[in-house]
Structure 1
């Protein structure tokens, strides 16, 4: 039985998207040793995934655009086939690359023995009530930017009822 249960906010994952810094390596080692259990709320997972996919897609699109530009500008005949091959390979590989990027975090969490958590109906109701009323964790009613935080808060509240101690890292 793990001694600690840990929830990390999206910005923690964003600081080390590949999770190769010392803090993540230590977390992974502790999780694999059974000393802690990492919990991944749905909203954190999806926020991180969509941010990563957007960044990678931007880079892929830039690379495709660069190769297309070279072809339009008139790459020499000796290199044209190579550049066209690179372009076709990149276009063909892009969907799998973006899928890999999207699945990297949940696969890592499950791989170290962590848990992914879907949003429950009760959490959704409480999160939306907080949105309408401006109650914790929100500061004012109907601030749309705070909706994801409200869902994360409800997941953490549920986890805190089941797991002690629960460690939450927000920044």
Structure 2
């Protein structure tokens, strides 16, 4: 969903952090919407905030500068001069501070800030002198910013369905009358009732729920890692025959059979845990000692100097080789998110962690 928010809505939330804009910011961050910011919207908001902020500082400076005339003592006057100096420093920082706040909003929300297009000026002022929409009447200067915003809306709507939020009813009427592929709402509440937006919100809520589950899975597995390792030991102890392949093996097909494993050391790769769909994928690895054996062609056996003595002759062509090696066993444990019980206290929650196989086994 592509949206444009008029400057009047941004001006209601100068810090860009109240409920409505926070939601827009989060949706953009998760690539669920694309928020377009016309250059004139950006300039209207930032310049107005800079002007009003500096005006407040000037009022404070004026009041402080009048204090010496009101009979203050020398120490208090000196202190007021220090405050005046600090306010002057603050005033010089206001413009950058407001610009940085907008830059942070744009970056986090992945919004698109459209640059000023000087070529649009000719079209805007042709409409200005003709009184064409979106101008309310001939040479209405107050409508010039909206006319430039209108050009940005027109350009985007030529290729994308565009949703606009503006509380200017005349501007809304101009857009709806002249531009196809647009839907205009007077406020965020109306946008949030849109059926397409509701579907986006469902996806968003699911993502938020999954993020909470991912956080809980990490906390739960970290807290109960010792208990999980005990379960891994039990699983490994029950293995008496497991075939695997490794290029380091000297058997004909690089295969061997594991008969016994000891001293398993579990590692859960927390940073690589991912959620896809309705499942969490938890990569784990286990380092252990193992007794293995494999069949080796007799002629090949005598070409190596570092092999252990064969344990028996299988037949006239093959020896049975037995070795003790170190193994790394890798597995991605799949967890059904419907079975995850999220609680603030890990002891009250539950993550179904079950190991039933190994996807990859290698000699280390």
- TM-score > 0.5, shorter chain as reference: yes
Kindly indicate whether residue 81 of structure 2 is the aligned counterpart of residue 72 of structure 1.
no
After superposing on structure 2, the runs of 4+ consecutive aligned residues of structure 1 that deviate more than 3 Å are none
C-alpha distance after superposition, 1:125-156 (max 9, x if no partner): 22112112111212322111111111110111
Q: Pick from 84, 88, 92 the counterpart of residue 91 of structure 1.
A: 88
C-alpha distance after superposition, 1:13-70 (max 9, x if no partner): 1111112221111111101111011111111111111111111011000111111111
Find the aligned partners of 2:119 and 2:51 in 1 and give their Cα distance. Answer: 31
Q: Which has the higher strand share?
A: 2
Q: Is the contact made by 1:71 and 1:84 (CA closer than 8 Å) also made in structure 2?
A: no
Deviation at 1:106, TM superposition (A): 4.0
Counterpart of 1:170? Answer: 166
Cα RMSD after superposing both structures: 1.6
Tell which has more relative contact order, 1 or 2 (C-alpha 8 A, sep 6+): 1
C-alpha distance after superposition, 1:72-99 (max 9, x if no partner): 3232223222211111111122111233
Kindly indicate whether residue 34 of structure 2 is the aligned counterpart of residue 37 of structure 1.
yes
Kindly indicate whether residue 140 of structure 2 is the aligned counterpart of residue 140 of structure 1.
no
Deviation at 1:103, TM superposition (A): 4.1
Deviation at 1:159, TM superposition (A): 1.1
Call closer, same or farther: CA 1:110–1:162 in 2, change over 3 Å.
farther
Counterpart of 1:19? Answer: 16
Structure 1 window deviating more from structure 2 (45-54 vs 99-108): it is 99-108
Find the aligned partners of 1:111 and 1:29 in 2 and give their Cα distance. Answer: 8
Which consecutive residues of structure 1, in runs of 5 or more, have no partner in the other structure? none
Structure 1 window deviating more from structure 2 (50-59 vs 135-144): it is 135-144
SS at match of 2:105: helix
Counterpart of 1:61? Answer: 58
Q: Is the contact made by 2:54 and 2:94 (CA closer than 8 Å) also made in structure 1?
A: no
Q: Is the contact made by 1:138 and 1:150 (CA closer than 8 Å) also made in structure 2?
A: yes
Call closer, same or farther: CA 1:12–1:89 in 2, change over 3 Å.
same
Find the aligned partners of 2:153 and 2:103 in 1 and give their Cα distance. Answer: 18
Q: Which has the higher helix share?
A: 1
Q: Is the contact made by 2:38 and 2:113 (CA closer than 8 Å) also made in structure 1?
A: yes
Find the aligned partners of 1:20 and 1:107 in 2 and give their Cα distance. Answer: 11
Structure-2-length-normalised TM-score: 0.44
Q: Is the contact made by 1:133 and 1:141 (CA closer than 8 Å) also made in structure 2?
A: yes
Find the aligned partners of 1:102 and 1:53 in 2 and give their Cα distance. Answer: 9
Higher Rg of the two aligned structures: 2
